[in-house]
């Protein structure tokens, strides 16, 4: 697309130049997720639980110090998606984990 082309921006409800819209997409998708002590989390990081958590629907309690491997960011700055043995679709709040 050239700068003469215009694209409709749904967020603002206006027609903007294509070059400006592409630049906004590149900078707008970055969500910072921080753990309980302020470390920046990224996809694939390992985290440790800082307190005992009862998992709703699984009938289990994850103990303090449990290692969670290979997290994924969800786009919400307070939630991370995790894999753990025996629990499918585990989502944890970032305030209860510490980066390892």
Digit-coded pLDDT (tens) for 33-73: 999 999 999 999 999 999 999 998 888 999 999 999 999 99
Q: What is the pTM of this model?
A: 0.68
- The domains of the chain are located at 1-30, 33-99
b/e string for 28-38 if b means 16 or more Cβ within 10 A? eeeeebebbee
Name the CATH code of domain 33-99 (choices 2.30.30.40, 3.30.420.40, 3.30.360.10, 3.40.50.10420): 2.30.30.40
Residues 41/99, Cβ–Cβ less than 8 Å? yes
Question: Cβ–Cβ contacts within 10 Å for residue 47, how many?
Answer: 24
- How many C-beta neighbours within 10 Å does residue 23 have? 12
């Amino acid at each position: 697309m050239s700068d003469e082309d215009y694209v409709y921006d749904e967020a603002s409800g206006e027609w903007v130049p294509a070059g400006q819209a592409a630049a906004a997409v590149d900078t707008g998708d970055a969500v910072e997720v921080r753990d309980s002590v302020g470390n920046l989390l990224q996809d694939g990081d390992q985290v440790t639980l800082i307190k005992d958590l009862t998992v709703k629907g699984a009938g289990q309690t994850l103990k303090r110090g449990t290692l969670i491997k290979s997290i994924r960011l969800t786009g919400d700055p307070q939630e991370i998606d995790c894999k753990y043995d025996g629990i499918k679709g585990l989502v944890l709040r970032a305030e209860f984990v510490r980066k390892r």
